[in-house]
Amino acid sequence: MYNHTAEGNQLGPTLSFRGLDNLAYYHTVFEQPRYYADFAGCGNTLNTGHPRVLQLVMDSLRYWMQEMHVDGFRFDLAPALARELYSVNKLGSFFETVLQDPILSRAKLIAEPWDLGEGGYLVGNFPPGWAEWNGIYRDSIRRFWKGDGGTASELATRITGSSDLYESSGRRPFASVNFVTAHDGFTLHDLVSYNEKHNEQNLDGDGGGENNNNSWNCGHEGEDAPPEVRALRERQKRNILTTLLLSQGVPMLLLGDEAGRTQQGNNNGYCQDNELTWMHWDWTPAQKALVEFTQAVSKLWNSNPVFQRRNFFQGRPIRGKGIKDILWLAPSGQEMDDDTWNGSGPWLGMALNGEAIEETDLQGNRILGKSFLLFFNAGPDGVPFTMPPPAAGGWFWTRVIDTAKEKPLDTGPHADPVYNVEGRSVVVLRMDRRDRKE
């Protein structure tokens, strides 16, 4: 936490820096230096624009790398570290010093790219060398699976690495740390179980926590839902987990989401050190099934380079072979054009070509992988997708995931040229060959 300290606001205890040099170590309010400029929401903001404060932070970071052997840092409320006077300076002393330091420049640097001050939402605006928690990804995935209209094209941008945010600055898909839930806000279970926050236990008048959660309770608020609602919630969890883990970029999963952990609708549980926020290990059958599902999708991601590209998709024929690295498919099976995008419903088809990755491994060998079809349907009704024919020579499509099925991981060949993607589901198919040995 390099953005604030435990000394709080002007009423907080004097523990260290305030007693040493208050005006040097903290941002204070102009013409009222008794008060702190609080960009962190914790009472004060450390002033890394001061040379001695910056030196303290750099020395601390080097210690963690050299003596404690950490390989990177995630900076909470990172814009606060770049505030010089009161505005955010994207070329501020902190960023410049980190990137020029012979030790820290080798670290993995991850920013939470927003703070509470004016102009503090900086998703996509950090310097090269930094990865970012992609809050736009979070909001887009939530809105799509909530069923908001007109979100298919936004989904396409986010699951392919958010090139609109990172490509122009020379960064790559792994600059996007993709997430749908984090330690702040709803858990995944609560995201599909509550339309409103329920923070009464915090005893602050239900005032803390975000009000705009882009959540959907699947038709019933809270835990006492009928069986059909509970079944839909489990499907929605699988949909979101599949989308997250198979997106380009770096997936980030909140501990407990893989097991359906709930905070009973509390989206600001920082002050609850009790059973409300603890991780419970006595899983129900449904929770165990979700853990197994998450493990399987993680393995799929880890074993297929087409989901872990280091470069953005080009969407054009590769190596003169006439094959594209990615195709966006309408239910008709045709490649989507502008008219199709403009009139698209809450669905999306995507074909990823493992023969067109156009990257090399550490030994300089060309990376080849399996090809996949992914179909997303956030609407309530099924959508029949005409599938592109597999390659000639004994190739066929194998169903790998269908989140709508009772056994979503039940694999098998799919010879029918049409796949009915049920409402609110994800389908993943892999191109296999007849002589393929598992």
Structural domains of the chain in order of their starting residue, each with its CATH number: 17-298 (3.20.20.80), 313-433 (2.60.40.1180)
Locate tokens 């260290």: which residue?
Answer: 16
At 286, list the tokens: 């449904």
At 65, list the tokens: 């790398």
**pLDDT > 90: percent of the chain:** 85
CA distance 77 to 72: 16
Angstrom CA distances, 122 to 19, 248, 374, 436, stand at 33, 21, 31, 47
At 361, list the tokens: 């491994």
Quote the pLDDT of residue 254.
98
Quote the pLDDT of residue 317.
78
First to last CA, the chain: 47
Determine contact, residues 206/268, Cβ cutoff 8 Å: no
Locate tokens 């670290």: which residue?
Answer: 107
Q: Select from 7, 3, 10 the least CA-distant residue to 79.
A: 3
Establish whether 112 is a catalytic residue.
yes
Quote the pLDDT of residue 438.
47
Q: Which of 7, 31, 38, 76 is catalytic?
A: 76
Determine contact, residues 93/54, Cβ cutoff 8 Å: yes
Angstrom CA distances, 231 to 193, 200, 393, 404, 422, stand at 11, 27, 40, 10, 14
Quote the pLDDT of residue 91.
57
Determine contact, residues 188/182, Cβ cutoff 8 Å: no
CA 135 to chain centre: 7
Across 293-424, the runs of DSSP E, i.e. the strands, are 317-318, 323-324, 326-329, 347-352, 372-377, 383-386, 395-402, 412-413, 418-421
133: left (phi over 0), alpha (psi -120 to 50) or beta: beta
Q: Which of 7, 112, 132, 258 is catalytic?
A: 112
**Segments of the chain with pLDDT less than 70:** 85-87, 89-91, 206, 319-321, 435-438
Contacts of 385 (CB under 8 A, 6+ apart): 329, 331, 333, 349, 375, 418, 419, 420, 421, 427
Residue 74: Cβ-neighbour burial (10 angstroms; 0-12, 13-18, 19+): middle
Establish whether 355 is a catalytic residue.
no
Q: How many residues does the chain have?
A: 438
At 271, list the tokens: 């002050």
At 333, list the tokens: 């099976």
Please state the pTM of the whole predicted model: 0.95
Across 149-265, the runs of DSSP E, i.e. the strands, are 176-178, 250-251
CA angle, residues 293, 257, 171, in degrees to nearest 5: 90
Q: How many CA atoms lie within 13 A of 323 on its CB side?
A: 15
**SS3 (DSSP) at 223:** coil
Task: Give me the DSSP letters along 274-325.
Answer: STTTSPP----HHHHHHHHHHHHHHHHHHT-GGGS-SS----SEETTTTEES
Any idea what DSSP says for residue 92? -
